[in-house]
Amino acid sequence: MKTLVSFETLAPAIIAIALLAGPANAEVILDNTLDGTNSLTTSLGSISVASYQAKIFTTPSTGSLALDGMKMALYSQTGNVARTVSVDLKAVDGSNNPTGSVLATESFVLNLTSTPTYYDIDLNAAIWGLSSAMTYALVFSSDASNSTTSWTQPPSNNSYSMSGGFTFVGTRRTTNSGSSWSANTYNNGLQLSVAPVSAVPEIDPNSLGSVLALVFGSLGLLERRRLKAA
């Protein structure tokens, strides 16, 4: 005998799972990639264990936002290689150079080739919260021991477009692991997106347990109905 599953039975579990997933309201706030379609060349712009590129930006005067994704234009001068790229969020000093302790950080293993390519990178928004009316440095490096890993740029139309109340301050570069910084005009291929903090799902273990109990309870009710019908 077929067992018919009613929407009323499954509704609590469906609603609980939907609430747990949370909304997705990402907004691009910095871009010179034309959403990953702008052409690229094998121009230099290395990032390594000692050479960093930092993008300095200011946040809107109001609102609670978190970085949640980016695109980077990368290639390897030595052919196919798995490279770890690291991103740090830092404060800046009076000259808009990165300073102080790391506020947030993540690392990603990317499979680079000799062809410049845009790489989509998901950020864990739960650790990338941004305060309003602040100037930050987003610092990029890699595990390359020399200049063979290049963060290239589009050959034209490569100025950063900004939105959402963010402003771009400039680029800083170091070749001595951050001991000193200098201004740099290289517009590395980059897109940044943010999400409202309220849209970033934060799963409380107790809430998760309640959701799972609701799901399994609904499944148990279905099974009892099936046995009774049989």
The mean-pLDDT minimum among 37-41, 101-105, 117-121, 218-222 falls in 218-222
Using CA atoms, how far apart are residues 67 and 103, in angstroms rounded to an integer?
13
**Residue 159: count of CB within 10 angstroms of its CB:** 10
Banded pLDDT at 49 (limits 50, 70, 90): very high
CA dist 26 and 193 (Å) reads: 6
Write the pLDDT tens digit of every residue in 86-109.
Answer: 999 999 999 999 999 999 999 999
Residue 165 near residue 60 (C-beta atoms within 8 A): yes
Q: How many residues in total does the chain contain? A: 230
Confidence of residue 25 (pLDDT cuts 50, 70, 90): confident
User: Residues 6 or more apart from 210 whose CB is under 8 A from it?
Assistant: 16
Mapping DSSP to helix (H, G, I), strand (E, B) and coil, where does residue 136 land?
strand
Q: Are 162 and 92 in contact (CB under 8 A)?
A: no
Question: Residue 167 pairs with which residues in a beta bridge?
Answer: 58
Beta-sheet strands, E only, within 77-209: 81-92, 98-112, 117-122, 129-130, 135-142, 149-151, 161-162, 167-174, 182-184, 190-196
What pLDDT is stored for residue 229 in this prediction? 55
Stretch 161-170: mean pLDDT: 98
Contact yes or no for 71/118 (Cβ under 8 A): yes
The pLDDT, as a whole number, for residue 230 is 56
Report d(CA 43, CA 185) in Å as an integer: 14
Say how many Å lie between the first and final Cα of the chain, rounded: 7
Average pLDDT (138-149) is: 97
Look over the chain and give the mean of its residue pLDDT values, rounded to a whole number. 85
